[in-house]
Structures are given as C-alpha cells and as structure tokens.
Structure 1
Amino acid sequence: MREHAGPHTLPALLAARVARHGAAPLISDGTTTWSAADALDIAARRAGALAAHGVERGDRVALMCTNRIEFIEIVLGCAWLGAVVVPINTASRGLQLEHILRNSGARLLVTEAHLASAVYALAAPDLALESIWLIGGEQESGAFPGACRTMPMPPAGEPLEAAELADGDPLAILYTSGTSGPSKGVICPHAQFYWWGEHTASHLGVVAGDVLYTCLPLFHTNAVNSFFQALIRDAELVVGRRFSASGFFNALIASRATITFVLGAMVPILLGRPVSPNERAHRVRIALAPGVPERFQADFTARCGIALLDGYGSTETNFAIGGTIDAQRPGYMGRVANGFDARVVDASDRPVPDGTAGELVLRADEPFAFATGYFGMPEKTVEAWRNLWFHTGDRVVREADGYFRFVDRLKDAIRRRGENISSFEVEQVLLSHPSIETAAVFAVQSALAEDEVMAAVVLKPGEALEPLELIRFCEPRLPYFAVPRYLEFAPDLPKTENGKIQKYKLREAGVTASTWDLETSGYRLERA
C-alpha cells in the first residue's frame, strides 16, 4: 500500500519528486524537455514573473493555449504562487468565452498570439482583465477594449519561495459545459489532482521509468491528470500537439511511450484506417480509454496490442469507478474504487435496487479528493452536492456483483469528439440570429459512438434563412465542435402545456429526410 501522507499540493509534490529523482525527465512537448529539477526552478521563477506583474495569491489567471510547454509553465507558476489557473478551451468563442472570463474574474489572460483575435472580438470592456500576455508570436491586429494591456509573455523572473498551501486550496477552475445554463467553473483543489493521479496510476499500473504519451488537450482534466501521474510515480509525460489518426502510432513510437490515453471516438477512427506495421511497432501496453464502446475494444487490442482500460470520473469528482485491467469487463465501467462511495438513486435520492437504472451519486473518503463547488454559483453547488453526495447527472445501472454500467445522461448535454457541449450555449447563439424565433439543440447518434449536434429551428414570420448562412453565423460565435451538423427548419416545436420544448420528441424523430447535413454540404469549418 502506498503512503499518502500530505501535503498534496503541487509545490510539495514537485519538491518530493526532485528529492527522489530530480534529474530524470518529467515532461516534454516534443521540442523542450524538463527534468523535475527544471520544473521546480521554472515554477519558482514563473511565479516571480507573475508576482512582478501584480498577480497575487488567490487571483485567477486565464490560460488559452494549445499543447505546448508554456501551458505547464503557467500552471506551475500559478501553483507556486498560490494563484488559480483557469484553462480555457482554445475553441471557445463569443458568449462562452466572455462568460468564462467574466465569471472567473481573471485579471490576467495568457494566450497564444494566434488565439488573441477571439478575445479582441469580445465587446466587453467591463471585464476584470488588466493584462494579456501573448505566447509565441507578435500581436495580431486588434486590441482588447478598455485599458487592458497586451504584451509578449515576459521572461521568467526572480525565484520566489513556494506559498504555504493546504490540500483544499484551489489549483484550477475548469469550465465544464452547462446543461440548463452557462458553463460552470469547477473549483479543483490541489489534493483533487493528487488523488486523480494516484488512482489513475494505480489502475493503469504506472511505475517508475514509464513514459506516458497524451495528445488530449491540456485544458481538460484527463491530460492534466496524466501530468500528476508522471509526477508522483517517477515517470515521464510526453505531450503531443493534437490527435492525428494518421500520425498517432508514429507518435507513440517516437515518444517511446509505454502508456497512452484515448477517448471513445478515437478508437473507431483508428480502426477505420488501413492496417499499418506501425500499429505494432510501439511499446505501449495499456491505454486509459473511457467511453470506448464494447464492440471496438477487443478488435483494437487484437490489432494494436494495446489493452483498453475503462472507468468513470468527471471534472467534479475523480477516478471513482474502475479497476485494473484484470478486473475489466467489456461494456462496464468497473466497480467502485477504494476511497469512494457510489449509489444509484431515484429522483428523491433513494437508492434503487441492483439492476435498476438511476442517477449515479458519489462521494470520497479523502479530504478534497473532489472539487469544492462551482465558482460564483453557490446555488448550483448546493444543487449538485445536495444530501452530501455529488449528483453526476448520469444514468447508470449497478449489477448485483458491484459492476456499474453507463446507460445515458440525465442532463441535457451533448458529447462530441471528446468535448462536452452545452445545448443552452448553442441555443443562445442561434436565438441571437435576427431571423430565428426559437430553437432547440439536442444530440443525435453518431457513427463514431458519440453524439452529433442537431438543431431544430423555427423562423420568425416572413423570414427566410439558408442553412449555410446560419452555419456561417455560428462559426465565429461557437467552438467548431459545437456548430450544429444537422439543421431542421420547422413551423413549430413540440411543447408541454407550460410551453417547455419537449426535446425527447425531437430526439426520437432524429434525422429525417428533410434534415440538412453540414457534412454533405461541401462546406468545411475552420478549426483553431
């Protein structure tokens, strides 16, 4: 049994890693490699630069950056200083981006130069932003409204002593898509990331000397978790720029990876490619692969030699349901992990019998192993953590032998290509079009085992609107993955007696002969 004596803060974990294996490589983005000793020095000096520019303990620092070493540098600097990093999906645009910046109250935004135009496009001079630091390039044309200063990211400063932090102090605020409202900022304490790393590493069997490879975006929990696995298990993390089906196995070979990470849709995409010798020329023994449909798992392992480990966790929780590969059962997430409690409950929070579908609720034994709430949204925090259990919004079944099976989502959310999409946020963009009277956004089934975004739209009397015109309207206002693939123009939408749109009827109808399909239109969305 591993020792778990605290503190479990990032500066303490980094110092402990340096004491064990300071010179061994800790993280690489393919061009730059840091040992643990390098990372500790960079954390202290980046904290110095942040402090020199007015960032104080508890301040939020927004971060809009692709998979490059500067992302980790800002995370380490914030953690060392006691500031809170706010990673933002690089595809965020318009209302969603403005909401995140406004809700978090970030005083500083660190962004790659080529992403700055999305920020400049916001007509929101009343945001708390005081400074914007640009990574990797000159300032593009444009400027943020108001007195906000824009400058290249300054060099590292004089090193600071690490802040005195507790396990429950926030390390990050991660925004996860809202289901009946705007995106919620999940307050993730230092210890939550430690327990994420510890439980995931235990399930995967991470040992000293392993090389972890991820091409998943660093602004999501999954990839940040992989950094903590490497940190606490004396392994190395190699970060790829992005997922490429044609280059995935080459990246595994080049990185010398022994463990990797995939999402549900990636596996059928890889299986859809022609067989290549590189699929067996790597050293990877196992991949964390949540949400991969059962029908693909055996074929992928047989073809590529990589075991796929399923499980359940969320931004608010931890790796609460899972197990090691020898306990894997296809089609199931696993059993509740040590250190957690799980129940399946009805609408009144009463446990339902085994074999009966209900909502999954969770809680943790260890202090601060879960998020501590939603930033600036106390009513949403109380709702989600009511009765001292975190309510996941996911509908599951627990079998008599303790294995959990995912059924569907209770929440009105859409998951496409590994991204959570708020139907509310997409609807708000559609409703801002002057020709649209009402709209409903919902998920329809995808051939890749995840969701596609469909919108049913009712136009105002006398208005006309071409589908591509609406897509072009959405494109600068939404992340590319949230732009609807399917559009259905209808004279009206099904409603309850109280006027609420009955989305279940729209889902049941799904794609019809009259539905417009973006993928067959010949138009291609631009991706950040």
Structure 2
Amino acid sequence: MIDPRGMTIGQAAQAAAARWPRAPLFCAPPDPGRAWDPEGRELTQEAVAEAAAALAERLAAAGYGRGHRAALDLENRPEHLVWKLALAALGISCVPINPDLRPAEVAYILADSDPQLCVAAPNRRAALAEAIALGEGRALIAPDEPPPPAPARPRPGAPAPEDEASVIYTSGTTGKPKGCLLSHEYELELGRWYLTCGGLMAMTEGERLYNPLPLFHVNAGILSLTAMMLSGGCQIQPARFSRGAWWRDIRACRASIAHYLGVVIPALMAAEPSEDERAHALRFMVGAGVEPTLHAPAEARFGVPLIEVWGMTEMCRIIAANEEPRRIDTRAFGRPRPGLEARVVDDDDRDVPPGEPGEMVLRHSADAPRRGFFSGYLNKPEATAEAWRGGWFHTGDTVRMEPDGTLIFVDRKKNIIRRSGENIAAAEVEACLLEHPDVAQAAALAAPDPIRDEEVFAAVVLKPGRAADADMARRLFDWCMARMAYYKAPGWVLFMDALPVTGTQKVRKHDILPPGASPEALAGAIDLRAAKKR
C-alpha cells in the first residue's frame, strides 16, 4: 500500500501508476443495456494516469488551475475517474452532480458552488444545459470536447494537501443541500483508513472491489476508489445496483469485496437461489443498514460476512464492526479506534450513561479535533460552527454505547429520511408541497419500508374546497416528481383536516405516524410507491 500522508491526490495517483502500471484500476462490467462500454472495459493505473495527464494539459492550456471548480455530470462512466484525477492534478475542485436531480435542484448547486466549467455525458447534456439556463451562464462541454478559455485566472502555486479537492452535496435538515468541502488530505486519508481497518476487513494488494453505488457519493467516488488506487486494486463499477446482475458481475469480474446498502440485502434475499450466489470469491461485504433479522440468514445463504459500518461525508474515518463478536442480531456498527474518539451525549452535550440513547459526537483527538474531517460547509460558516460546537462534531445520529465501547445505531436525530441509501431532507419535501396552489400545510416524515429502509410519507392539509382523494394525491406526487429527484417524491400521502402541533406550533410528527408503524395500517393513507421511477 502507498502511504499518501503529505501528498496531494495527483501525487498519489502518479505514485500508484509508477508502482502498478499494468494493474487494472477501474472495471466496467459487461452490460448490453448500458449507454457506455456495453461489452465492458478495464483501465489500468497507467492508462488512467496517462489519460488524466493529457486532459490536465488541455485544461491548463485553457487557463484552468488551482482554486477553480468543475461540475461533473458523468454518471458511473470511466470518464468520471479520468476527469477527477485531471482536476485534482491541477488543484481544480470536483463538484459531482447527481443525475437524478431535477434542473432546479442542479441550478441551486451550480449557483452555490460557482464552477468555472460544467462537463456532461452526451445523454446528460440537455438536462445540465436546462439547469445552467436557470442561473448564470456557464461553459458546458462533453468529456471529450476541448475546454473553452477559463473565465478567471487560477491561484498561483502548486496544489497542496490542505487544498479543496471536492464539494460533495448532502441533504440539509433545513431544506437546501449543504456543500461539504473536502481536501486532498481528507480524500487520501479516507482511502488509507479503509485499507488499515484490519480484522475481517484485512486487505492485500490487488483486491477487486465491486461497488454499485454512484460515483457522485463519497462511498464509491472517494472511499473505495481511493483505497483501490493506493493498494493496486480495481474498482468494479456497474451503472447502478441490479439484483439480476449482482452475482453474475461479482463472479465474472472476480470480485473479492463488495459494497452494499440496506436495500441490497433484502433484494438479494428475495431472489430465487442461484448457483452464482455461492460460486463467488468474495471474502467480505461492507455496507450499512442490514436488518438484524436478515443479517445471519444472509451470511449463511451467501457464505460471506456482511460487515456493518458507519460513516458520513463530513468525516473521513468509517467505524466498522470488523472484529468478533460483531453482534449481528443488533444494529451494532463497531467501536472507535485510535484516530477517532466518540461520545454519546444528551441535548445539552452531557454524556449519557452506557446503554442509554443519545447523539453520537466525534473528534480526532483533544489536540487536533478536526483532523481528518471535512473543511466546512460551503458558504455556511454558521452551520459549520454549530456542527462543531464544544469541539466535537455532532453527527445527528442517535446511538447507544455499550460498556465495552460498541456503538449501536438507534435512529437519526436530524429530520432526515433515508431511502435506499439516499438522504432526503423532510424540509425540502415540505417546501415543495407547500408551493402547490392546493396545499395549506404539509409534513414529511420517514415511514418504514421493507425494501428501501425508509420511504417518504407526506401528511397534507388542503385548502378549503379541494377534494382529498387519490386523484389529488397523484397530482401532488406529479408536482414533486417534476421538481425534485424521483426518490424525494412522497411514496405515501395522507390527507388530514389539521396537523397535530405542540404549544409552540411545532408539528408532532410522531402523532401522525408513530415510530415503526406501517402506513399500510393507517386508514386513508394512499400508496404511490409503484409510481416512483427514474
């Protein structure tokens, strides 16, 4: 493994290419229905480095460099990796775009991050152009087009480890997503930390890691990709998760590690048993959100341990249940190790007794609490300060800490709905519904879902004279689908005469749908889940 401490991403990529020039770094498995590389393709460390160097030369000649930003809407294509490394080599920050976002949502990200250049795959160009048209004019090119002249001069000097390498947008509890500023040092430390977890996650050179998650997220775009680059390994990157392709790809591409989210395991368990699901070379799978009742049966059926981990964009160090006993009958996700300290606190930031629920707060150490964390929220210094109050980062997750230090997930303290691995701000859904001319009040909350972990549940109060029926529910659904990413639209709608509120007029969401209660048992709840499609 290459120790990247003190390096920039560009320096680490060059070192990896020099050490393992012929080793594959990125693999697109065969997929006849995919718009790119339908027959599959592998790129070596050397090939990626050469393509990134040539692209960086073209960008530098056009005047792009340190301190600039570029927005990438390239899906899970190999071009994303080449562009990411070319940008990093010049000190240009990468702003990856979720292709499921609607134009208005992308327009917000572009206005907030102010990229000097936007790059889109051919099938994404029209959508990104529409988003650009909603705001200030920005240069838009295809990944193989020559860049236009940069609109401003770059900062002098070579990139440094502490420089910004990415802006990753996460759902904010107040509605609009927040841009997490990630440095070169952060991204390389994320990969190094992953490689050194040890235990059941012990890795060697040349691992082949199957990751069906999107490259615009930290998991596939930074965590596993950087780890593979630093260890001579290969990331196997399908277009997205497919139950039918999962075991076929893993077997054909000789994967030794696989990443999952909670939605993956129930989907695989619901499939008919196949020969491929036991004829693989996986040593372990890494993910989060497996239902405790499914954990042991899945390990027994597939013959591979499922290692539950916890992480978030703001922190480059995952916590992993990679040592026995793992307590797979609970939502345990491991214990902190040197380089990461954790406490469980109440609303006044006082420690709660062992075994009691509270918010998990984290830091590197007393001397350097923010080492290995994000650099802050873009354009939101107040939000950054609030998250770091008292010198500890407040995760917004409610956990229990057992006497032996084991952390067990309980719930999200923040007003966030987590559907199939996507974080959805309830406030964003509520704001969209309230813009509809027929809506007087709206509350969005998480409803349990057997496949997707959670689903968006919307309680709606209509203006006088409006019909509270299935047709109205579908109109509200279509309204949201036209304005937000498909996964944010309500999967359930319940019409109410009034929302229950506290004495200070805060909505009592637990009175609408009690924790753990199924919407299917709620009279009047309208199920729209089947209509939620990309």
Task: Please report the TM-score for the alignment, with normalisation by the length of structure 2.
Answer: 0.89
Q: For the residues of structure 2 that align with 1:156 and 1:256, how far apart are their CA atoms?
A: 41
For residue 404 of structure 1, what is the aligned residue in structure 2? 407
Cα pair 2:28 2:42 within 8 Å, conserved: yes
Q: Which moved more, 1:4-13 or 1:187-196?
A: 4-13
Partner AA of 1:17 in structure 2: A
Q: For the residues of structure 2 that align with 1:372 and 1:396, how far apart are their CA atoms?
A: 25
Q: For the residues of structure 1 that align with 2:420 and 2:490, how far apart are their CA atoms?
A: 13
Unmatched runs of 5 consecutive residues or more in structure 1: 136-151
Partner AA of 1:423 in structure 2: A
SS at match of 1:262: strand
Cα pair 1:167 1:368 within 8 Å, conserved: no
SS at match of 2:372: coil
2:421 to 415, 418, 421: 418
Render the CA deviation track for 1:145-185: whole Å, top value 9, x for unaligned: xxxxxxx633899xxxx973322211111101011231110
1:113 deviates by 2.8
Render the CA deviation track for 1:305-344: whole Å, top value 9, x for unaligned: 1211112111001334225354533121111122111111
For residue 391 of structure 1, what is the aligned residue in structure 2? 394
Matched, 1:495 2:501: yes
Render the CA deviation track for 1:100-119: whole Å, top value 9, x for unaligned: 11111122221223233433
For residue 290 of structure 1, what is the aligned residue in structure 2? 288
Render the CA deviation track for 1:179-213: whole Å, top value 9, x for unaligned: 12311101111122222212222332221121111
Matched, 1:264 2:274: no
2:491 to 482, 485, 489: 485
Matched, 1:88 2:97: yes
For residue 140 of structure 1, what is the aligned residue in structure 2? none
Pick closer, same or farther for the CA change 1:244–1:284 going to 2, 3 Å: same
Cα pair 1:96 1:183 within 8 Å, conserved: no
For residue 356 of structure 2, what is the aligned residue in structure 1? 356
Matched, 1:277 2:275: yes
For residue 142 of structure 1, what is the aligned residue in structure 2? none
For residue 451 of structure 1, what is the aligned residue in structure 2? 454
Pick closer, same or farther for the CA change 1:327–1:44 going to 2, 3 Å: farther
Q: For the residues of structure 2 that align with 1:322 and 1:197, how far apart are their CA atoms?
A: 14
Q: For the residues of structure 2 that align with 1:73 and 1:123, how far apart are their CA atoms?
A: 23
Matched, 1:341 2:351: no
For residue 146 of structure 2, what is the aligned residue in structure 1? 154
For residue 324 of structure 1, what is the aligned residue in structure 2? 322
Matched, 1:18 2:28: no
1:252 deviates by 0.2
Q: For the residues of structure 1 that align with 2:482 and 2:58, how far apart are their CA atoms?
A: 33
> Aligned-pair RMSD on alpha carbons?
2.3
1:120 deviates by 4.1
Partner AA of 1:457 in structure 2: V
1:125 deviates by 4.5
For residue 53 of structure 2, what is the aligned residue in structure 1? 44
For residue 148 of structure 1, what is the aligned residue in structure 2? none
Matched, 1:435 2:438: yes
Identity %: 36
Q: For the residues of structure 2 that align with 1:265 and 1:337, how far apart are their CA atoms?
A: 28
Unmatched runs of 5 consecutive residues or more in structure 2: 30-39, 150-155
Q: Which moved more, 1:196-205 or 1:223-232?
A: 196-205
SS at match of 1:313: strand
Cα pair 2:445 2:457 within 8 Å, conserved: yes
For residue 191 of structure 2, what is the aligned residue in structure 1? 197
Q: Which moved more, 1:313-322 or 1:271-280?
A: 313-322
Pick closer, same or farther for the CA change 1:327–1:317 going to 2, 3 Å: farther
For residue 71 of structure 2, what is the aligned residue in structure 1? 62
Render the CA deviation track for 1:440-487: whole Å, top value 9, x for unaligned: 111011113611111011112223462112222121211111111100
Partner AA of 2:204 in structure 1: V
Partner AA of 1:462 in structure 2: G
Matched, 1:506 2:512: yes
Cα pair 1:24 1:36 within 8 Å, conserved: yes
Q: For the residues of structure 1 that align with 2:276 and 2:82, how far apart are their CA atoms?
A: 33
Cα pair 1:192 1:369 within 8 Å, conserved: yes
Cα pair 1:215 1:242 within 8 Å, conserved: yes
For residue 145 of structure 1, what is the aligned residue in structure 2? none
Matched, 1:131 2:139: yes
Cα pair 1:49 1:156 within 8 Å, conserved: no
SS at match of 1:310: strand
Matched, 1:209 2:206: yes
Pick closer, same or farther for the CA change 1:251–1:123 going to 2, 3 Å: closer
Matched, 1:524 2:518: no
Cα pair 2:284 2:307 within 8 Å, conserved: yes
Q: For the residues of structure 1 that align with 2:111 and 2:333, how far apart are their CA atoms?
A: 36
SS at match of 1:455: strand
Q: Which moved more, 1:381-390 or 1:488-497?
A: 488-497
Q: For the residues of structure 2 that align with 1:16 and 1:26, how far apart are their CA atoms?
A: 13
Partner AA of 1:333 in structure 2: F
Cα pair 2:3 2:192 within 8 Å, conserved: no
SS at match of 1:462: coil
1:222 deviates by 0.8
1:123 deviates by 8.2
How many equivalent residue pairs? 502
SS at match of 1:312: strand
Render the CA deviation track for 1:478-516: whole Å, top value 9, x for unaligned: 111111110011121112233222222223176212011
Task: Please report the TM-score for the alignment, with normalisation by the length of structure 1.
Answer: 0.90
